[in-house]
Amino acid sequence: MKEHVKVAEVMTSAIRTVKRTATVQDAIDTMRDEEVSSLVVERRDEHDEYGLVGITDIARDVMARDRAPGRVNVYEVMSKPVITVHGEMDIKYAMRLLTKYHISRALVVDDKRDPIGIVTLRDMVFRAA
């Protein structure tokens, strides 16, 4: 019988955030300082959804288009809404969800929909193998 592994067991729980109005340069600096490749974008209020900005978003929408990172705001390049998975979800289902939508990471949330981590396909594949 295969082991059931929950998303919460393989996620990265150290979430780094950024304000939606921050510049992409601010986001890059935070990613570099914190040694992460994505940041959770804070909500405007409790009715808003979380966003996610990653290296791929910045490379595709800023650098490859020769835009100045200090003149572009995070909200212009972030992904929103983002796919979220519950920490109790089995990683096999989380992997199916992420691959279905061709994404490499998801925001992990608790029962209140508050973020508790980020999980990547890499994390789940390495644990499942």
What distance in Å separates the CA atoms of residue 16 and residue 1, rounded to the nearest whole number? 37
Domain boundaries along the sequence of the chain = 7-128
Per-residue pLDDT, 1: 37
C-alpha pair distances (Å), 7 with each of 27, 39, 82, 95, 129: 26, 19, 16, 10, 15
Give residue 56's pLDDT.
94
pLDDT of residue 3: 79
* pTM for the model: 0.88
CATH class of 7-128: alpha beta
Give the model's pLDDT for residue 129.
Answer: 86
pLDDT at 2: 64
33-58 residue pLDDT tens: 999 999 999 999 989 999 999 999 99
